[in-house]
A and B are shown apart, each in its own frame.
Chain A
Amino acid sequence: MSDKDNKNKEINEFLNKSYEYGFTTEIESETIPPGLDEEVVILISKMKNEPEFLLKWRLKAFSQWKKMPQPDWAKLSIDPIEYQAISYFSKPKQDDGPKSLDEVDPKLLETYEKLGIPLHERAKLAGVAVDAVFDSVSVVTTFKDKLAEAGVIFCSFSEAAIDYPELIEKYLGTVVPIKDNYFAALNSAVFSDGTFVYIPKDVRCPMELSTYFRINEAKTGQFERTLIVAEEGSYVSYLEGCTAPMRDENQLHAAVVELVAHKDAEIKYSTVQNWYPGDENGKGGIYNFVTKRGDCKGENSKISWTQIETGSAITWKYPSCILRGDHSSGEFHSIALTNNLQQADTGTKMIHLGKGTKSKIISKGISAKSSQNTYRGQVTMSKGAKNSRNFTQCDSLLIGSNAGAHTFPSIDVMNSSSILEHEATTSKIADEQLFYCMQRGISEEDAIGLIVSGFCKEVLNELPMEFAVEARALLQVNLEGAIG
């Protein structure tokens, strides 16, 4: 074997490092039988004691979904999804919902420990309030009282539907309508749980809010729904993290996130997505088909999306901003890392409607081994979006010679006073860069991690401090075995 082959072998071993969160938790759960029809939609709503309007809304979504075909325009190859083979609701078995941490099944808490989320400790030390969603159900929300003092509502979506129906009815589906797309329609019909956040006027949310999603049961889908409303002059920073056990079959995760920012409000939304990506032969893994959109409704409002996408067999998502209010601004900072046979088709849409609106897009795609990584973006300057600006920077880093990086930017300008800039680069981790690092005593695996973290610097800097370190570590782990 030549030195080069040896080196490739080493790199491959590094890339093949296994998924750390692939354990399952033995816990009794109530899972409804696979299949989807109107009865199932009604059953889900009933199990959650939902108000009437929500059931009606679900049923409307379901009839809409039945009429829609699964889209196929993305640069993805997707095995047919058997929608009737999925179970649409699963929850850890417990007689009544937990009233406090002490009542939560210790096995569940153990799972979260393993994931690095000691609910008590972490929340207290970091001042982060955590909501944890296990399969379909929100398990516990920490720090509720402290937040309530500030008037902030941070609870599971199910609770919100019962406790704050007027807010849900007012905002649900206003940013991502039922008919928006196939997966949004499906989610609207069967969504299981998720998070609701409400920040009252002029309140700066006193802590980072955070939700962890975990799929545990086999053959279940996870369809969570997140709604964040920031009233005039308020501010909130929210982070979500996701993991799942290793399973041979593909599991569907079709979430919808809606953000509403009123006048002078700011929402910062960060995602660290590390769903199980499948094995090195592409077996198993999560299908992560998500619709995320923010409405900058009021003047001077601001929404920024930051995403670190390292997991999932297929990622298909475009966190977007509708810049409706004059002088509102939207940002999208993304790191999408694909390895082995992972596929990602991700990017953003910035729809400029108001005057003097601004948007910034920084996308960093890293593809290793035989993975495919696509940036797809749309920037629209409508007629009324006078004097608006967009800056787009789109960089791809290739590791090895079998990976693919693709960029599909689309720009529509309907006025003459707006300014758009687009920069794009594609580079490859060079053998000489690795040699340089290794000559300085750094192992190949650490060298790849350092080079990638340098490549992603602008985006990592956007993450809340305590998560930036985690994100770096996550990139490193997911890159193991990245050169082939």
Chain B
Amino acid sequence: MSNILSIKDLYVDVGDTSIVNGLNLKISSGETHAIMGPNGSGKSTLAKAIAGHPDYKIQSGKITYMGNDLSALSIEERSNLGVFLGFQYPIEIPGLSNTAFLKAAINAKRKYHGMDELSASEFLVDLKEKSKMMDIEQSFLSRGVNEGFSGGEKKRNEILQMLMLEPTLSILDETDSGLDIDSMKVVASGVNAFRSKKTASLIITHYERLLNYITPDYVHVFHDGAIIKTGDIQLAKDLEERGYEWLTNP
């Protein structure tokens, strides 16, 4: 087991507001961590800060990913080194086909690592298999990125992108929100397929529902931008039953 992500005493501002306040977290390979917490507790801010969104500014502390200080890396470098963010609200890019987008992303990563472009046939075989797994019809792939997709389709598409890009660290920001039970199962199967000894996942969610299908190794409760409690799946079950009140307002 090697260290994939290590966050030390992290403070993140959005605008003039401090959202993440003194966060510490360590994720090793093979692990799946879940972060739960009420709205506005800073969960998504953490995800955006790791990915390098320019509006989320690190005031102090350090995020280390596979030995690299993340603040020294551009957004695309982080991605090319294996950081994937599944968006809470996936973005639409009208007219740009899903296939063209995925191919550009994969080839950008290959180029970064000094590899040749993926051949069209290799790419298509892989895409066909993985889109089938994500229950995404072939016709979707020629449509614009997330253009006119339903909520469930967008989220399944995020997981498809994750599977195609084969990241090391996958951060899923409320991927379960707005999903019906069937889509949830499909998403969970994708995430489980991604899990391996070499990879790690950070799953941000409101509810323990998704965690019934993806059993995390650790469950963290987020409040006011820091982790206030860590446990296992039982903690998620307790939260479902009792709410956050008993932790945030003891």
Residues of chain A whose beta carbon lies under 8 Å from any beta carbon of chain B: 3-4, 7, 430-433, 435-444, 446, 450-451, 453-458
Contact = CB atoms under 8 A, between A and B. Distances in A.
Which residue of B53, B84, B85, B104 has the most chain A CB atoms within 10 A of its CB atom? B104
A440 B101 contact: yes
Nearest to B96: A454
B151 interface: no
Interface stretch (B86-94, B202-210, B235-243): B86-94
Given A441-B109, A442-B108, A435 B93 contact: no
Contact of B101 (A430, A431, A450): A450
B170 to A, nearest CB: 12
B93 A451 contact: yes
Given A438-B75, A443-B76, A3 B104 contact: no
B76 A442 contact: yes
B165 A440 contact: yes
B178 interface: no
Contacts of B97: 454
B79 A438 contact: yes
B57 interface: yes
Interface in B79-131: 79-80, 84-85, 87, 90-91, 93-97, 100-101, 104-105, 108-109, 112
Contacts of A458: 95
A1 to B, nearest CB: 12
Given A435-B53, A454-B95, 5 more contacts: A431-B54, A435-B91, A443-B108, A446-B108, A457-B95
B96 A440 contact: no
Given A441-B76, A442-B108, A454 B144 contact: yes
A414 B84 CA distance: 58
A106 to B, nearest CB: 35
Interface of B: 51-54, 57, 74-76, 78-80, 84-85, 87, 90-91, 93-97, 100-101, 104-105, 108-109, 112, 144-145, 161, 165
Contacts of B78: 439
> In the complex, which of the residues B51, B57, B76, B112 has the most CB atoms of chain A within 10 Å of its own CB atom?
B76
Contacts of B165: 440-441
Pairs A-B, 5 closest by C-beta atoms: A454-B96, A454-B95, A441-B79, A440-B105, A436-B91
A450 B75 contact: no
B54 A7 contact: yes
Chain A contact residues: over half helix, strand or loop, or mixed?
helix
Contacts of B144: 454
Nearest to A432: B91
Given A438-B76, A441-B76, A454 B93 contact: yes
A427 B94 CA distance: 11
A446 B91 contact: no
A331 to B, nearest CB: 19
A4 to B, nearest CB: 6
Nearest to B145: A454
A455 B95 CA distance: 6
Contacts of B74: 438
A450 B112 contact: no
Nearest to A458: B95
- Name the residue among B80, B97, B105 with the largest chain A CB count within 10 angstroms: B105
Given A436-B90, A457-B95, A441 B54 contact: no
A54 B108 CA distance: 57
Nearest to B101: A450
A297 to B, nearest CB: 35
B112 A456 contact: no
A3 B54 contact: yes
Contacts of A436: 87, 90-91, 93
Contact of B104 (A432, A450, A455, A456): A450
A432 B85 CA distance: 13
B76 A450 contact: no
Contacts of A4: 54
A441 B112 contact: yes
B94 A455 contact: yes
A450 B102 CA distance: 11
Which of B53, B74, B94, B97 counts the most chain A CB atoms within 10 A?
B94
A451 B92 CA distance: 10
B207 to A, nearest CB: 25
18 contacts: A3-B54, A436-B87, A436-B90, A437-B101, A438-B76, A439-B79, A439-B85, A440-B79, A440-B161, A441-B108, A441-B109, A442-B76, A442-B104, A443-B76, A446-B104, A450-B101, A455-B94, A457-B95
A273 to B, nearest CB: 22
Contacts of B80: 441
B108 A3 contact: no
Given A440-B105, A441-B105, A441-B112, A435 B75 contact: yes
A312 B146 CA distance: 35
A440 B165 CA distance: 8
Given A433-B91, A442-B108, A450 B100 contact: yes
Nearest to A427: B94
Nearest to B111: A441
A435 B50 CA distance: 13
A3 B112 CA distance: 23
A450 B103 CA distance: 11
A438 B78 CA distance: 9
B184 to A, nearest CB: 23
Nearest to A455: B95
Nearest to B95: A454
Contacts of A439: 51-52, 75-76, 78-79, 84-85, 87
A453 B90 CA distance: 20
Nearest to A433: B91
A460 to B, nearest CB: 9
Contacts of A453: 95-96
Contacts of B51: 435, 439
A443 B80 CA distance: 10
Nearest to B85: A439
A433 B94 CA distance: 10
